[in-house]
A and B are shown apart, each in its own frame.
Chain A
Amino acid sequence: MERHLTAPGVRIRGLTVVYNTPSGELPAVSGVDLTLAPGTITGVVGESGSGKSTLALSMLNAVQPPGRISAGSVEIDGLGDVVRLRGEELRRTRGRKVGYVFQAAQNSLNPLKTIGAQLLDLGRSHDVGDLRALVRDARELLGRMGMDGARVLDSRQHELSGGMRQRVGIMFALVLDARVVVLDEPTTALDMITQATILRIIREVHDERALTTLVITHDVGAVAEVADDLAVMYGGRVVEHGPVAEVLGAPEHPYTRGLIRAIPRLSGDLGLARALPGRPPTLGTLPAAGCVFRERCESSLDLCRTAEPVPAARAGRTVACHLPGPHAVPVKRKEYA
């Protein structure tokens, strides 16, 4: 199979996803603009309820009722606006153009069928002419990820460990040669060594196959290891988006700062580490006006109560905050520039 080795770019514009609840339609994602540069890995971080998984599902136009995409577009190079796709066209896009590794991919395999049988099902449902080639590709991919491909294809879910299932999930997302890949919490419930292995594999496969990758997680550490860009989500908004080293090294948004300070780390001062105060917002508890983060913010202004900050370019990234930057910690460009 000939592969044209240019990764597609993805442009999300004004994306709003609402969920129908007893108290009316509430936005889980509201007016998100996010550009994934071709060939990069973008990490989307946020707490539970930040809208990150909904954003990921929108990339496939796969938001399930009671949710729906109410506005905006997801433009993928060579594919157009995914939000407009319907029916058969949409089904073909999923898997063929956009690969998706589901949250808890460890448990999303059919326990009754061998991996190989599920692979053939996938191939048939996408009208793959040469199923032999598909199996060959799958075996190759699994081998690339450090597994015995033939053995894995003959196995059922329960015969594989958590890390192996995760790799099988990645194989399924890539085997139809999708160029845009979305991974939802790829390392949750894996131990550290397995997590490190999976992250390395994601990075290597991404580079080899010229992909554009989106990694969704609540663990900043996990994306810090693989991602080029980092988008921080809160209350359905992207509050900060920029190169990983810069966002982590000199966070501009107070939420990003709090998030980083809350990571249990091996080095660094124990006394400075602190959990984020308050609790993550849910659909119903989001403030109607002003900045969504203001109630947990350590330095909110009067302005924050009334006006919602608009994402604006500053310090080499996009930030949605009324507070003037830059902050005390200067960007250390010495090593990572």
Chain B
Amino acid sequence: MITGTAITKTFRQRGGVLGHREVPALRGVDFAIERGGAVCFIGESGCGKTTLGRIIAGLETCDSGEIVIDGTPMSGLSPRRRRPYFRRVQMIHQDPYSALNPTRTIHQTLRAPLALRARQTGRPKPWIDARAEELLALVGIDPGYVLPRYPHQLSGGMRQRVVIARALTMDPEALVADEAVSMIDVSLRLGILALLRRLREQLGVGVLFITHDIATARYIGDESELYVLYRGQVVEHGPTETVINEPVHPYTQSLLSATPVLHGLERPGPDRIVPTEALDERHGDAGCLFARRCPLATERCERDRPVLGHDPAYPTTQRHACFHPRRRQVIPLAAGA
């Protein structure tokens, strides 16, 4: 089990004459993922979701806050002692084209981590090749076909499966899938999502799914939780189906409204929200972070920052950070209904 508490991260950008400009990427994010659970982080580019994923995978460190893996807080450990813990969290990169070394065959790519794993667990050498074939079969590709090949000989979908198989070599507890399907043909995305779902059920691997496409979050499986990130803050959090079907935060509603409508199959939801401006990090930090783009913002939103929680005046299943929560019908409806 992995939990994060009050994770913050600020990037310093070089900004001309006046020296550095600070860009907060994460402003106190809490999350928890159970064994075999699924957590989705949703937001547009620049919302901090990728940074969060990298921190969870141990590829970056946070400025403050705590990551706890299996009851062990990471902040007290030296980088060397942290490594075995973060090895239990494997990253699946967005781009299956750059995630595999073009000069190495799939066999070589899988063999290196498996050899390491064999040493760690005291397994004999023959286990390595057997395990490579087993893992490829698990992710749904023919080992005989794939093993001797180079990445350029495989399709995008196959490469992403190989990447997942490589992540599984370390017997991870959780996978961080950062936009894991966005560079794959739409026609094959559901296959990868179904695979992640199956890994949850079969192996009890937790999945942290990071995406800008909120629709894909539905396919990660039951009992998943959705966190909507906006400029480094969680603005809405709850069970995935609830957040998608009954969103209360205007930002969540904008994200959902932006999902294309398949005319002929669907018709647009009646309450679609279009955010007024593009995301600009230079927007001030006073008040609600979304206020500048929110069509519903009031004076209070410009002044105070709402915190994530339940609103006693407007009870919902999910937590949200909005002064004016209201359920809106923004997702497309079936065309006939």
Contacts and interface: CB of A to CB of B under 8 A. Distances in A.
Judge A-B direct contact (beta carbons within 8 Å). yes
Interface of A: 47-48, 161-164, 189, 191-197, 199, 218-222, 224-225, 244-250, 258-260, 262-268, 270, 273-276, 279-280, 332, 334-336
A267 B190 contact: no
A261 to B, nearest CB: 8
A225 B261 contact: yes
Interface in B174-207: 182, 185-194
Nearest to B259: A266
B262 A279 contact: no
Contacts of B213: 192, 264
A225 to B, nearest CB: 4
B331 to A, nearest CB: 4
A204 B219 CA distance: 33
Given A48-B155, A262-B188, 13 more contacts: A192-B214, A196-B257, A199-B260, A224-B262, A224-B264, A225-B260, A262-B190, A264-B218, A267-B334, A270-B219, A275-B191, A280-B188, A336-B263
Contact of B44 (A192, A221, A249, A335): A192
B256 interface: yes
B219 A336 contact: no
Contacts of B156: 48
B36 to A, nearest CB: 18
Contact of A249 (B216, B264, B333): B264
Nearest to A197: B278
B333 A275 contact: no
A267 B189 contact: no
Nearest to A196: B258
A266 B212 contact: no
A164 B333 CA distance: 31
Given A221-B260, A266-B256, A249 B191 contact: no
A248 B265 contact: yes
Contacts of B259: 192, 196, 221, 266
Contacts of B279: 193
Contacts of A218: 185-187
Nearest to B262: A224
Nearest to A49: B155
A224 B335 contact: no
Contact of B275 (A161, A162, A193, A332): A193
Contacts of A219: 186, 260
A245 B336 CA distance: 12
B133 interface: no
A134 B74 CA distance: 59
A335 to B, nearest CB: 7
Contacts of A163: 278
Contact of A265 (B262, B267, B275): B262
A263 B186 contact: yes
B278 A268 contact: no
B209 to A, nearest CB: 12
B169 interface: no
Given A275-B189, A280-B155, A264 B215 contact: yes
Contact of A275 (B194, B260, B262, B274): B194
**Chain B interface residue number, banded:** 35 or more
A279 B158 contact: yes
Contact of A262 (B189, B214, B262): B189
Nearest to A195: B258
B50 to A, nearest CB: 12
Contact of B188 (A195, A275, A336): A275
B180 to A, nearest CB: 12
Nearest to A258: B187
B201 to A, nearest CB: 15
A120 to B, nearest CB: 27
B248 interface: no
A219 B181 CA distance: 12
A280 B260 CA distance: 24
B267 A224 contact: no
Contacts of A247: 264
A224 B260 contact: yes
Contact of A279 (B155, B194, B218, B244): B155
Interface string B146-166: 000000000111100000000
Nearest to A281: B155
Given A192-B44, A267-B334, A268-B334, A224 B190 contact: no
Interface string B31-59: 00000000000001100000000000000
A184 B244 CA distance: 31
B168 interface: no
26 contacts: A48-B185, A164-B278, A192-B44, A192-B258, A193-B255, A193-B278, A195-B258, A195-B260, A196-B257, A218-B185, A221-B186, A221-B262, A224-B260, A224-B262, A244-B263, A245-B263, A248-B262, A259-B186, A264-B189, A266-B256, A268-B265, A273-B219, A274-B190, A332-B336, A335-B335, A336-B263
Interface in B199-244: 212-216, 218-219, 244
A64 to B, nearest CB: 20
Contacts of B258: 192-193, 195-196
B25 to A, nearest CB: 16
Given A191-B212, A192-B259, A279 B264 contact: no
Cβ-closest 6 pairs across A and B: A249-B264, A275-B191, A245-B264, A248-B264, A221-B260, A196-B258
Contacts of A249: 263-265, 335
B109 interface: no
Contacts of A335: 267, 335
Contacts of A48: 155-156, 185
A280 B185 contact: yes
Contacts of B189: 262, 264, 275
A267 B331 contact: yes
A92 B259 CA distance: 38
B96 interface: no
